[in-house]
Amino acid sequence: MRPTERFFIYAALALAVVIAAGGRLAQGDALAQDGDAGKNADRPIAVCDLVSVVEKLMESDRYRPAREEAQLAAEEKMRPFREAAMAAEAKARNTPQDDPTFPDLIRDLQRMQAEYQQAFQREGAELEKMTVSQISEAYEIARASAEDIAGDLGYDYLIASRDPTKPIEAPDVAGAVRTMLARPVVKSPKDADITEDVLADLKLN
């Protein structure tokens, strides 16, 4: 995954690191009918690393090819602006400063650089918009799978939490804090983690 894509994923999920994924309040008669649905009654809370599931979804063939295609299309759209700016820069660099045309060349260079920057920002915004849309869809897919599995196993609540044992790696204090906030569950029974079940359900493992 490219660093920029990973940044988008973390930024988009930073405000939703603790999710109650539609807990199911199982009724007594339903529990009596379903053998699996009663075995976790004494531990009603399941845990799932939804961020990891979303990351794997984003790197799957369901989403990655579309982003790569959009990236190539954006680069193709920016190419004329980039080439024009580079040509103007070369022309200005090879023109003596006392040449009467030099000021005009500098103005042309500045204009073309500004046009390239605008194109870069415009295409970047479109790529980010597409990535956010994919993340939102991938999250809903992951959440629905996790909710169904948690319900089938008899859990009433589902908490999204990353693995608390992994080292905290972040470029700054804000990133470190976000990483900690993404781990609301510090300790839980191993069998309460349904992440692998969700990955298997979505055929991501």
Instruction: Identify the band that residue 106 occupies on the pLDDT scale cut at 50, 70 and 90.
Output: very high
Region 122-140: what's the mean pLDDT? 97
**pLDDT(18) > 50:** no
- 107 touches 174 (CB < 8 A): no
pLDDT of residue 205: 82
- 149 touches 197 (CB < 8 A): yes
Q: Which DSSP string do the residues of 81-144 spell out, in sequence order?
A: HHHHHHHHHHHHHTS-TTSTTHHHHHHHHHHHHHHHHHHHHHHHHHHHHHHHHHHHHHHHHHHH
Instruction: Report the share of the chain in percent with pLDDT over 70.
Output: 79
Secondary structure element (H or E) that encloses residue 146, with its range? helix 102-152
**pLDDT(34) > 90:** no
- Give the count of alpha carbons within 13 A of 152, CB side only: 10
- pTM, two decimals, is 0.73
- 13 touches 136 (CB < 8 A): no
Contacts of 196 (CB under 8 A, 6+ apart): 205
**Cα 88 versus chain centre, distance:** 38
Q: What is the pLDDT of residues 172-192, one digit of tens each?
A: 999 999 999 999 999 999 999
pLDDT of residue 33: 41
pLDDT of residue 68: 97
Integer-rounded Cα radius of gyration of the chain: 25
Region 196-201: what's the mean pLDDT? 97
Angle between helical axes of 3-13 and 50-58 (0-180°, round to 10): 140
Instruction: Report the share of the chain in percent with pLDDT over 90.
Output: 74
Domain ranges of the chain: 3-201
Our CA dihedral for 194, 200, 203, 204, rounded to 10 degrees, sits at 60
